[in-house]
Amino acid sequence: MADLKATLTDIAKAIVDTPDEVTVTMSEDDNTITLVLSVAPDDMGMVIGKHGKIAKAIRSLIKAAAGNTNKKVNVEIK
């Protein structure tokens, strides 16, 4: 299984202006993996994008990286 936390961190740091403030926390249940992405308030728009397109793309990439874990992956942006 790919390291989803590191993957999300790398993606977010490439997008934002202040990569030092990017943090990702991961929690795992029986059937669900939840990743919570936190960025600086000024970078929130860059991570969400117009009409949420970048956020949707990030979620798609993380779900693809999860591959065949047979678990549901949720990405929350705070």
Per-residue pLDDT tens over the stretch 14-40:
999 999 999 999 999 989 999 999 999
Burial label for 29, CB within 10 Å (0-12, 13-18, 19+), is exposed
| Domain hosting residue 73, numbered range | 4-77
CATH classification at residue 15: 3.30.300.20
15 burial type by CB count under 10 A (0-12 exposed, 13-18 middle, 19+ buried): middle
Residue 59: the pLDDT is 97
Q: How many domains does the chain have?
A: 1
Work out the pLDDT band at 77, boundaries 50, 70, 90: very high
CA distance 21 to 55: 18
pLDDT tens readout for residues 45-72? 999 999 999 999 999 999 999 988 889 9
pTM of structure: 0.93
